[in-house]
Amino acid sequence: MRQRLINKTEPQETSLSSKSSLAQNTIEAEAISLQSLLFDSTINKQDWIEGLKYHSKTLTNLLLNNQIKEFNEYLSAQFSGKISSLQPSAELSKGQLSEIKKGLTELDYRPILQDLLQTAILIEHSTIPPYLTALYSIKDGTNILASQIIRSVAVEEMLHMIMVCNVMNAVSIQPSVNRPQNYPTYPMKLPMNVDFFVGLETFSTNSIATFIAIESPSNPLVKAPKYTSEVENSALYSKSAVQENNLWTLENMKDFMMQNVHTIGEYYDVLFFYIVVFQIIAYYKANGKLPQNFEELNKGGIFTGDPAKQIRPEQYYGSGGKLHPVEALDGVIAVFQEIKGQGEGADDSIFDVDPSQFEEGAELAHYFRFKEVFHEHFYLGGDYRPFTDENGMMPVTTPPVGKELPVDWNAAYPMKPNPKISDYQSNPQLYAQGKAFNQTYKNLLDAIQAAVEGNAKELEKSIMYMYALKEQAIGLMSQPLNSTQNAGPTFEYAAN
């Protein structure tokens, strides 16, 4: 029986399309102002949390959907005019400046962003070994379409990891992908508020169902594909008692994410909001006033990194997706749009980019690609009118009902789930093969690490290592470990 997919909390929708202007009184009615959230040390933690929920969603929806005009209106409304009991002007005198209690303005953003961005790398890294394991377990010559889908997603996850490294280098923080503490340990939960485990398993309905859960979209509804008879090829502010509160700490920010983030897309949304907050503070400290528009906020500030450390499109040899260098806030926007679009879909569609643009051709987002494999049908060519509402929207859980996608679930090696190198100690041959695989995987990560440290040509070696990984993984998976299970790759850290 196929595994029932894990339900997640569905986020509340924040509609911005009906607002031609974000008036100050409207914002105050919904949540504390962004200025209060950043500077008022007298608010209590619950008000701070509610403010984070509102402003992270509002700001992120605007910038990651390229609504710059609306963002400028939002920022101007938040940082000018009379807002509660705080200073009524965006510019503060030296006397007023000294009255601001220590808090966000005195916070060193680097260790916080290092922790949060390294966690983003861990999230991306955590998906790669499970995807590769399922891919390598498929016997040669079988499940060609399913193999292509899994391979395409695995390659794009590696792209995501490299682009998060670009973001770290852009803010002068050295990324790390190859140290022991950066290795995922299976089975594991992703570092978010989720209730399922991710592990190394053979290709099966269970592993694909887990992949669907990993890539779950933030929004519960998606635009239904247009039906055609021709089958297409798939490809609230209240003043609390005055007290000294420094709520902007790494512990509080991470706790907010662990309590309120249920999907990878939501993690990137809140992470993006934190990055923008630190950029706002950097602008404020440099100029003595708060930014009023995106142009003022885009460059400088926390973006002090060496451009030579950026991995650029011409230096990346993976297929699928677009690699974005980062030198300012607009680069972070491009990276997060790419990561979110490939994972859960862009513009409320099932595609990874706006399909009306077709820059390089639109592909399904990861979540929907895996659902095609699980349900053994493609999305395109299906009739979704029975599932849609009056606006053409359907639940993301709607199964694909297009052309059949043949899957042979039995054509995979019966690998032991989550094997460890210690499982092979009684078999010298398997032990040596397991250690060799782990060394090759470390070589791959070492090449990526060298590249993000400024030696971009090292990235060329990754292709060679990927080919070697497949051969070594199959060598393990084709050998019996016991009467019912075969060996498999362990993706453990290889100590030199």
pLDDT of residue 426: 95
- pLDDT tier at 276, thresholds 50, 70, 90: very high
Mean per-residue pLDDT over the chain, rounded: 84
Ranges of each domain in the chain: 24-87+94-107+247-305, 108-235+306-412, 417-496
Question: Hey, which bits of 402-489 come out as E strands?
Answer: none
CA dihedral (162, 164, 170, 171) in degrees, to 10, reads -140
pLDDT tens for each residue of 139-174:
999 999 999 999 999 999 999 999 999 999 999 999
Q: At what angle do helices 264-287 and 109-137 cross, to 10 degrees?
A: 160
Q: Which residue has the higher pLDDT, 399 or 21?
A: 399
User: Which residues on neighbouring strands pair with residue 395, listed in sequence order?
Assistant: 221
pLDDT of residue 495: 80
pLDDT tens for each residue of 308-343:
999 998 887 655 568 899 999 999 999 999 998 887
Q: Which residue has the higher pLDDT, 230 or 336?
A: 336
Q: Which residue has the higher pLDDT, 330 or 82?
A: 330
- pLDDT tier at 87, thresholds 50, 70, 90: very low
What is the chain's percent helix, strand, coil content, to nearest 5?
Answer: 50, 5, 45
- pLDDT tier at 360, thresholds 50, 70, 90: very low
The answer to whether 117 touches 275, Cβ cutoff 8 Å, is no
* Alpha helices for 171-263 (secondary structure H): 205-214, 250-260
Q: Is the peptide bond before 187 cis (omega within 30 degrees of 0)?
A: yes
Quote the pTM value.
Answer: 0.85
108-235+306-412 CATH choice from 3.40.50, 1.10.20, 3.40.630, 1.20.1260: 1.20.1260
